[in-house]
Amino acid sequence: MKILIATDAWHPQVNGVVRTLNMMADSAKAMGVDVTFLTPQSFKTISLPSYADIQLALPWPWTIAEMIEQAAPDYIHIATEGPIGILVRRYCRKNNVPFTTSFHTRFPEYISARFPIPESWIWAVLRYFHGASDAVMAATPALADELRGRGFNNVVLWSRGVDARLFHPQDVDLGFKRPVFLSVGRVAVEKNLEAFLDLELPGTKVIVGDGPARAELERKYPGAIFLGTMQGEQLAQVYASADVFVFPSKTDTFGLVLLEALASGVPVAAYPVSGPLDVIGDAPVGVLNHDLQSACLAALHVSRDACREFALGQSWDACARVFVENVTRERPPQIKRRWRQRLVRRLRLARGQSVTAA
């Protein structure tokens, strides 16, 4: 089975969407599923306004069509609502090709935080974009319910996993004054990092990640440690060195970093909002409180062993299995057959072969 995923979020970006897609694809291989990607790496790009680290692809419709037909996938999934996602959706609609989508980012809040655009307008665009999808995948039950309440159809669940082999408890001391309160993620306005950095806490506040707000926050909070972007074992050691993981965001749809921290044996302090509520719930692995300072201090007393045990129940294999099930939901076989026949005819024409057998 071949699944093509169209995504505007890709390397060198370091975020939950990119990690989720990569880890899910690796796990899907063991299921006999070949996952390929259509990404900005195949096109010219420009910097996203207000966020130079994110590159927007500039694809042509006919190039997108050629790449899809060359890949000849059995199923198409559109992961993002950017230029690539829009043109792949256009191709699928024009050629009567079924597809699925996923909802990763709260664009209404993200865009409204930067530009004077009403959130209701953006939600209307998103409803239109996802409206033709066979299945709209949401990471948590709360997000799924919210999307249904906003008029989205065919919403299904697709949770996340964690690499418990990479992220695990370690005896690491990076030399920071303890206790260490850590936050990992994009350093941008929608992450609400100032709510964390404004807190009066003992020890050291550490920020891992990069983004458009980093320079201003470093200037405003000289007492905090900004380590920049980290990956792999280096990131795993920073997680393990922390005493509490602080997640101040109120707009994330999931928060993959929450599972990475818990797998490292680090309890979570966060607001009781969608994301932390869905990941943690009432499990004794963190403290969710509208008073973030109280949550941080109380989390110091949470069992690190309980955090690790909780995270071990979240696997990328389960994530991949649910994704494949969602993508391959029952569809009218004549539609898939017509699509496959069309792809074969076009490929044979491109190679100068006869199309009578198609």
180-311 sits in which CATH class? alpha beta
The pLDDT tens digits of the residues spanning 111-131 come to 665 666 788 888 999 999 999
Collapse the DSSP code of 211 into the 3-class scheme (helix H, G, I; strand E, B; otherwise coil) and give the result.
coil
Could you tell me which residues are beta bridge partners of residue 47?
A: 55
Q: What is Dmax (Cα atoms) for the chain? A: 75
**26 has pLDDT over 90:** yes
Which pLDDT band holds residue 357 (cuts at 50, 70, 90)? very low
Q: What residues contact residue 154 under an 8 Å CB cut-off, 6+ apart?
A: 133, 134, 135, 136
Query: Residues of CATH 3.40.50.2000 domain(s) within the chain?
Result: 2-161+317-350, 180-311
What pLDDT is attached to residue 355? Answer: 47
Q: 258-294, pLDDT tens digit by residue? A: 999 999 999 999 999 988 998 898 899 999 999 999 9
Whether 75 shows a pLDDT value over 50: the answer reads yes
To the nearest whole percent, how much of the chain has pLDDT over 90? 72
How far is Cα 339 from Cα 201, in angstroms, rounded to an integer? 59
> Using CA atoms, how far apart are residues 348 and 345, in angstroms rounded to an integer?
5
What pLDDT shows up at residue 285? 98
Taking residues 178-186, what's their average pLDDT? 96
Q: What is the pLDDT of residue 334?
A: 47
pLDDT band at 347 (very low <50, low <70, confident <90, very high): low
In tens, the pLDDT along 137-160 reads 998 888 899 899 999 989 999 989
pLDDT at 59: 94
State yes or no: pLDDT of 198 exceeds 50.
yes
2-161+317-350 CATH fold: Rossmann fold (3.40.50)
Nearest partner of 137 among 92, 185, 183, 104, judged by Cα: 104
